[in-house]
Structure 1
Amino acid sequence: MNPRRCILVVDDEPRLREVIADALDDLGYRTLSADSAEAALQRLAVEPVDLVLSDLRMPGQDGHALLQDIRSRHATIPVVLMTAYSTVKDAVQMIKEGAFDYIAKPFEIGELSATIGNALRLSAALQDNQRLRRELESRYRFDHLIGASAAFRRVIGAIAEVCESRANVLLTGESGTGKELAARAIHYNSARRNEAFVAINCAAIPEGLLESELFGHVKGAFTGAVSARPGRFVQANGGTVFLDEIGDMPVSIQAKILRVLQERVVEPVGGSQSRSVDVRVIAATHRDLREAVRSGGFRHDLYYRLNVFPIELPPLRERREDIPLLLAHFLQELGKSSERPMPAFTPAALRLMERYSWPGNIRELQNCVERAVIVARNGSVDAGDLPAELHEPVSSENGGLPSDLDAELERLERRFVLEALARTNGVQVQAAELLGISERSLWHRIKKLGINIVKRPSST
C-alpha cells in the first residue's frame, strides 16, 4: 500500500474518528481528521487528500452538503459515506449525486479497506484518463501541425475552418503525409473533443470482418460470435469516426456506410433493430476517388456524402522548406523520450535531405531522423550517416530549371536563414552577421517566412 495515500476522516464523534484513523494507519494510509464539514473543507483547501471518508449525519453542515462542496471544488477526490442503517436510503441517493459508495455502521475493517481500495483504484484510473486526454489534446494542438510553407498553411487554414462545423471531411494525399494527424487535430479542436475518436483502417481488416467491426454484431450472428459486440460507430457515439483508407472499402460495405450518413442509424450484423448514432465521419484515402467513381470501384453517392469538406495534404516534396522545421520537431520529441542530447545535422546532411524526393513523405522523414540519431558519431549527423537512397542522383526535370522560381527562391532563402539561426542558437544579431545582412533585414525575412525561433538549451 502506498503510504502517501491520504484519507480525510470526517465525523463529529472523537472516539470513532480515532478508531478509524488507527485502523487506516495500520492499513498503510496517512490520515487527517475533521470534526465537521466546515473543518473538512478548510483542510481540503490546504492539504493534498486522496479520499474523504465522512459521516452522513453531523450537526450543522451534514455529509450531503459536504459532498456537494467537494464535487464542486475538488471533483477528482472520491467520497465514501458512513451511515447508520436508518439512513441507508439517503446514502444511496448520495451515490446518485456523486459519492463513490457508502458503508453502513457498524462495519468491519475489512469491509472498509475493500471499499476504500476500490475507490482509490477508480480515482487513479479516472486521473490517468484525464492525464491521457490532456496529453492527446496537447499533442494535437495546431502548433503541433508542423510547417510554414504556403502549401501547408493552406491545410492549417482548412482545418481551422472545419473544426467547429458538423461537416464530414475527406482527407486525401499520399501515404505518410499526416492524414490521421490532421483527422485527430480536427476532432480535438472541435466541440466533440470530450467524446471518443475511433479510428479504423478499412484496408487492414478482411471484408468478412469489416462489417462487424464497423456496425457490431448480435450473439450468434456468425461462428465465433459468442456474445453481442458494439461496433466502431456505436463506440464513437457523440464523437468522431475516422475511416482511414476508405478507398479500399468493399462496395458492399459502402452502401451501409451511406445509410449511416443519411439516416444516422446502424444495424448490427445478425440483428433487426437499428440504433441511432451521432457521429462525425472523417475519411481518408491515398487513392483518386473520382477516378474510382468513374471506374465503378467507389459509389458516387457515398463520395459526395464524404466530400463535403475536402482537404488535400501535400507530399513532402512539394513542401521541402518545411523539412528543417520537421527535423527540429522530431529531434525534440526524440530528446524527450531518450532524455539525452540530440546530435545536430550538418549543412551537408540537410542539403541531402532537402534534395531528396521523400516518396514515403513525413513518415519516411521521421524514420530517417530516428535512424540517423542512432548511427551518428561525434555529436552530429553528417551526410554519410543518412540512408543510401538519399545519396542517389536527382533526376533532372525541366532542363535543370525550377518549375516554380518564386517557390525555389523562397525555399533557398528559408534554408539559409534557418541554418544561420541554428548555428547561432537563435541569436539574430549573430545570424545576420553570418548572412552579411542587417539585423533589421533578417527580422523582416523571419517575419515574411513565418519562422518560429526556438533556442536550444545550453549543454553546459
Structure 2
Amino acid sequence: MSETAFILIVDEEGDWSERLSGMLREEGHACLVVHSGREAVASMQSRRPDVILTTLDMAQRAEDREWLPHIQGLAPDAQVVMLRIDEEGQDDLNAYQSPMVQVLGDGHRRPVADELLQPIAEAAERARRNRDNRVLAEQVKKQVEFEGLITGNEQMVRLIKMVRRVADSKLTVLILGQSGTGKELVARAVHLHSPRKDKSYRAINCAGLNENLLESELFGHVKGAFTGAVSERKGLFEAVDGGTLFLDEVGDMPLPMQAKLLRTLENGEIIPVGSNDIRKVDVRVVAATRQDIRAMVEEGQFRDDLFYRLNQAMIRIPPLRDRREDIPLLIDHFLKEAARLHGKAVDTISPETVRRLGGYSWPGNARELKSVINQMVVLSDRQELDVDDLPDYLRGSTDIVLAAAPSTAGLTMEQMEKIHIANTLKLTGGNREKTAKMLGIGARTLYRKLREFGLQ
C-alpha cells in the first residue's frame, strides 16, 4: 500500500480476523481486532481508523446496531468495508448504500483473508484522499488573502497586520526575505493601503545596474549629460512624486550611490545627472533585499546611516519552508490560476503529489512553486496532476533533510519519518540491511517506505 493506515476489524470470527490482521501488519499497517460494536466505538474514540472492516451480520446485531452511525462523527474520513458472508440480510443492504461503505462478498462464504488486501488498500487510499481534502478545505476556510498574499501561517498573519499598520504612516519600510518570498507583493500592499494609494507606484531592481545607470534611472538626466543623452529625462523619483518608489535588492546598490540615495531620503532633494539644479520631491520609499544587510553594514559593504534611515520599519518575510502549512493553499491557488491562464482542464492534484511538493525545501520559495505548478499544468494531459507530472528533480527529492535539519516544527509525521529514514540511510552508507536493523523494522517494510518516499 502507498501509506501506512490504521485498520479496525470488527468481527466475531477471531481466528480469521487475527490472520487478516497479521497480513495487514506485514504490509506495514497498524491493525486492531475487536469483537463488538461497543468496543469499536471505544477504539474510534481513542484513535480514528482509516478503514473499518466488518460484516453485515455485525452491523445488524441487535446489541450492536447503533455503532455504525457513530463512524461519521468519530472517524469522518474512514471507509467501511462490509462483508456479506451469508444470504441473510440481503434486503437490508440498501440501508448501507453510501460513498463511505463498500459491500463485498457473494453471500455464500467468508472471503479468504488475502483476497481482501487489495480492497482494503484501495479503501485506505480513499480515506487518505478524504482526509487530505477535508484538511485542505478547513485550511482554505481559515486562510487569509491580502493583496496577493495567501497564508494560514500565524507569522504571516502577524506580518499582514504589521503591513496594514505601517502602510498608514510616513515611515520608510525595509523588507527582508529570500528571493521569491513575495517582497514586491508586500511593497505594493504598503502602497495600496497608504494615503498615497491614488498616486503613482513604481519599482526598480537595483541589482545588476552600475552606478551611472542607476543614478540616471533614479534621478534622471539633462540633455548632453552623457553620450546618448539626446534629451532631458525624468528619473523615477520625479515620475512618482507624491507616490511610492520600491527599491528592490537595495543591498546590491553601489556604495557611492548609497550616499546620494541617503541625501534624497533625508532632504527630499534630487540632482539630475549633468545638472546643478536641486529639485524637491515627495516620495515614500519602500526598500527590500535578500541579503543579510546587518552583516553587510558590519563589513562596510552597506552604509550604516542609510541602513538606519531605511530601517524605520522592518518587515521580515519567512521562507516557504518555514511555513509549510501554506504550501497546499498556494498549490490550490496556483493550480486554478495556471488552468485559467493556459486554458487547461486540470482542476485537481493527488494527495501524494501534494505531499511530495510539501516535502521539498523550495529554495526559490513561492516563485519556484508557482513555476513548477505552471509547468505541470501545461505538460499534463489529465484532469488530475499526479506524481508522474512532477519535474524529475522533485520526484525523488530528499532536499527536506537538509532544509529541516535544525527543526521539525511544522512537519507532518510522514515528513519526519522520511527525514529519519534518509538520515539513517546516509549514516549506514546506503546499506539497507543495516538501516532496517537500526530503525528496528523489517527489510520488507524499509523497502516499501523507500519506494513511498522516493528514496530509491
TM-score normalised to structure 2 length = 0.56
Contact 1:200 1:243 in 2 (8 A): yes
Q: Does 1:348 align with 2:352?
A: yes
Q: Is the 8 A contact 2:204 2:246 kept in 1?
A: yes
Matches within 5 A, 1:174-213: 174-213=178-217
Alignment of 1:164 onto 2:168: yes
CA–CA distance in 2 between the matches of 1:169 and 1:343? 39
Given the alignment of the two structures, is residue 392 of structure 1 paired with residue 359 of structure 2, yes or no? no
Residue correspondences, number: 271
Q: Does residue 330 of the first structure (1) align with residue 342 of the second (2)?
A: no
Write out per-residue CA displacement over residues 89-125 of structure 1, whole angstroms, 9 at most, x where no aligned residue. Answer: xxxxxxxxxxxxxxxxxxxxxxxxxxxxxxxxxxxxx
What letter is aligned with 1:290?
R
Which residue identity lines up with residue 157 of structure 1 in the other structure? Answer: K
Task: Tell whether 2:246 aligns with 1:245.
Answer: no
| Contact preservation (8 Å) 2:344, 2:377 | no
SS of aligned partner of 2:174: strand
Contact between 2:360 and 2:398, CA under 8 Å: does it hold in 1?
no
Aligned CA distance change for structure 1 residues 323 and 214 (closer, same or farther; 3 Å): same
Matched ranges for 1:8-407 at <5 A: 142=146, 144-390=148-394, 391-394=396-399, 396=401, 403-405=407-409, 407=410
Q: Secondary structure at the match of 2:367?
A: helix
Task: Report the equivalent of 1:408.
Answer: 411
Partners of 1:334 and 1:240 in 2: how far apart? 30
Hey, what's the Cα distance between the residues in 2 that align with 1:166 and 1:308?
Answer: 10
How far off its partner does 1:404 sit? 4.6
Q: Show CA shifts across 1:320-373 (max 9, x none).
A: 110111111112222333444333111111010000000110110000000010
Contact 1:320 1:411 in 2 (8 A): no
1:166–1:280 Cα contact (<8 Å) kept: yes
Relative to structure 1, the CA distance from residue 387 to residue 339 in structure 2 (aligned partners, 3 Å threshold; closer, same or farther) is closer
AA partner of residue 304 (structure 2) = H
Q: What is the alpha-carbon distance in structure 2 between the residues aligned to residue 330 and residue 371 of structure 1?
A: 11
Amino acid at match of 1:205: L
Q: CA–CA distance in 2 between the matches of 1:193 and 1:264?
A: 19
Aligned AA for 1:393?
T
The residue matched to 1:198 in structure 2 has which SS?
strand
> After superposition, what is the alpha-carbon deviation per residue over 1:106-153, rounded to whole angstroms, capped at 9, x for unaligned?
xxxxxxxxxxxxxxxxxxxxxxxxxxxxxxxxxxx7253101112211
Shift in alpha-carbon separation, 1:364–1:254, aligned structure 2, 3 A: same
Indicate conservation of the 8 Å contact 2:338/2:373, yes or no: no
Cα RMSD after superposing both structures: 2.3
Deviation (angstroms), 1:186: 1.0
Deviates more, 1:153-162 or 1:273-282: 153-162
SS of the aligned residue for 2:158 comes to helix
Q: Answer whether contact 1:343 1:376 (CA < 8 A) is retained.
A: no
Task: Specify the SS of the correspondent of 2:325.
Answer: helix
* Runs of at least 5 residues in structure 1 that lack an aligned partner in the other structure: 1-140, 413-460
- C-alpha change, 1:216 and 1:395, in structure 2 (3 Å) is closer
**Contact 2:339/2:347 (CA < 8 Å) preserved in 1?**
no
CA deviation vs aligned residue, 1:185-237 (integer Å, no higher than 9, x gap): 11112111111111111113222211111100111111111111110100110
Q: Give the Cα–Cα distance (whole angstroms) in 1 for the partners of residues 234 and 321 of structure 2.
A: 42
Cα distance change, pair 278–401 in 1 and its aligned pair in 2 (3 A): closer
Offset of residue 382 of structure 1: 0.8
What pairs up with 1:444-455 in 2 under 5 angstroms?
Answer: none
Distance in structure 1 (CA, Å) of the matches to 2:202 and 2:182: 17
**In 1, Cα distance between equivalents of 2:197 and 2:324:** 32
One-letter amino acid matched to 2:411: E
TM-score (norm 1): 0.56
Instruction: Give the SS at the match of 1:229.
Output: coil
Change beyond 3 A, Cα 1:409–1:364: closer
How far residue 392 of structure 1 moved from its aligned partner, in angstroms, is 1.9
* Structure-1 separation of matches of 2:348 and 2:362: 21
CA contact (8 A) 2:206 2:250 kept: yes
- The structure-2 alpha-carbon separation of the partners of 1:379 and 1:336, relative to structure 1 and needing over 3 Å to count, comes to closer
- Counterpart residue identity of residue 176, structure 1: G
Aligned to 1:458: none
Instruction: Kindly provide the amino acid, as one letter, of the partner of residue 261 in structure 2.
Output: I
Give the fraction of aligned pairs with identical amino acids, expressed as a percent: 47
Classify 1:221/1:397 alpha carbon distance in 2 versus 1 (closer, same or farther; 3 Å): closer
2:210, 2:254 within 8 Å by CA — same for their partners in 1?
A: no
Instruction: Quote the Cα distance in structure 1 between the aligned partners of 2:356 and 2:408.
Output: 20
Q: Aligned pair in 2 of structure 1 residues 145, 401: CA closer, same or farther (>3 Å)?
A: closer
Distance 1:401 1:360 in 2: 18
Q: Distance in 2 between matches of 1:173 and 1:410?
A: 28
